[in-house]
Amino acid sequence: MSSPLPVYSLMPIELVRGSDCTVWDAEGTAYLDLYGGHAVISIGHAHQQWAEAIGKQAATLGYYSNSVHLQSQNDAATALGKISGREDCDVFFVNSGAEANENAFKLASFITGKPRVVAFGGAFHGRTSLAVAATDNPKIVSPVNRTTNITHVQLNDLSAVEHELKQNDVAAVIIEGIQGVGGVRSATDDFLRSLDALCASYGALLILDEIQSGSGRTGKYFAHDHAGIKPSLITVAKGIGNGFPVAAVLVSKTLPVSVGMLGTTFGGNPMACVAVTEVARAIERGNLMQNAHDRGQQLITALEHVPGIAEVRGRGLMIGVELNGPCSAVRKTLWQEHHILTGTASNPNVLRILPPLTITAEQIDRFVQALKDALVKETLVKDAS
């Protein structure tokens, strides 16, 4: 009998159902989902209009390729451009975050005629060929992925970037809006502004990887919106489909793109596109970016000065809670005893909080109390008060 390839470290929970910020296991236990299946669930599990739109599209025209006009694709591009404030971009739809980054690299290289990419220490950009090479984690870069075409420099080190750009062979610099897997670490807004200007002055393209930090999660549509920059290539995935596999590259209309440069069989299929349109509508209708901002502030404020917590980082609903020690026991107590799911990061001390953008003030309060209790239980602190 075949099984799914055992490449994941699995929590011993089988989930069978979801609604908004709650998921249920096979025994009927409800869990508060502060992980969102890794920042994917933006508008809530089993969102009604989203599910209906996908079902209706499946029953009407479930698939056709990019060899014809598809109204669903035009609508999704329009919706993404509008909600992100980037109607000066066109949209190339693909299927996953890594694929979006691969296409952004390829486009940058075609356009500039240069072969090299600069990425940052701690970065995660996916697991396909160049995306994994741009990822700063030697454990997941296999020999076939090792390439001299990617150079890593330290986050916030502008002179190191300039040193690479001066060699005049850099097509693109890629940076996450906020580093997610790397432990919720941000470049400063000043660094992003200077990086944008530096790339422009050396003729390299800046790629903003907003795969985890986009879709309104930080309180603005993109994390880099807080710095007020307008990069010419932006990659998105995860939250734009709320669980339907879809990703995209937003490409500035000023870039010279021509027929045949990029292509995909499944990217931009009608079901994926109606999912994108419904997610954008639900974010606007529910004022979810404002909720992400408000609930994030609530959480950051509530966790300030809590014994056992070394630092709380992030923006909106992309938050890293760094404990004074490894977080695995606390995380286990949270899901086993308090029925709350949280995420991890490459730093073993960091709990990653990435809930649906619909989370309520009461649910945040419930998590804060549970975390304080779990910290006491795991004796990271003697007294929670």
Catalog residues that contact ligand PLP under the rule CB under 6 A: 38, 96-98, 101, 124-126, 176, 180-181, 209, 211-212, 237
Residue 29 or 265 with smaller CB distance to ligand PLP:
265
In the complex, the smallest distance separating the C-beta of residue 96 from ligand PLP, rounded to whole angstroms, is: 4
Sheet holding 22-25, edge to edge: 15-19, 22-25, 30-33, 340-341
Residue 126 or 219 with smaller CB distance to ligand PLP:
126
Residue 97 or 308 with smaller CB distance to ligand PLP:
97
Distance (Å, whole) CA 263 – CA 14 = 36
* Whether the Cβ atoms of residue 216 and residue 288 lie closer than 8 Å to each other: yes
In the complex, the smallest distance separating the C-beta of residue 369 from ligand PLP, rounded to whole angstroms, is: 29
In the complex, the smallest distance separating the C-beta of residue 101 from ligand PLP, rounded to whole angstroms, is: 6
In the complex, the smallest distance separating the C-beta of residue 126 from ligand PLP, rounded to whole angstroms, is: 3
The strand pair at 30-33 and 89-94 is best described as: unpaired
Query: Strand, helix or coil at 123?
Result: coil
Torsion of CA 198, 200, 205, 209, to 10 degrees: 60
In the complex, the smallest distance separating the C-beta of residue 383 from ligand PLP, rounded to whole angstroms, is: 36
Residue 206 or 374 with smaller CB distance to ligand PLP:
206
Residue 35 or 124 with smaller CB distance to ligand PLP:
124
Residue 97 or 314 with smaller CB distance to ligand PLP:
97
* Whether the Cβ atoms of residue 248 and residue 80 lie closer than 8 Å to each other: yes
Residue 57 or 212 with smaller CB distance to ligand PLP:
212
In the complex, the smallest distance separating the C-beta of residue 341 from ligand PLP, rounded to whole angstroms, is: 16
In the complex, the smallest distance separating the C-beta of residue 180 from ligand PLP, rounded to whole angstroms, is: 4
Tokens 């599209």, located at residue = 57
The residue number whose beta carbon is nearest to ligand PLP equals: 97
Tokens 């995860």, located at residue = 238
Which residue type does 239 have?
Answer: G
Distance (Å, whole) CA 160 – CA 262 = 31
Angle, nearest 10°, between helix axes 288-303 and 361-377? 30
Distance (Å, whole) CA 299 – CA 253 = 38
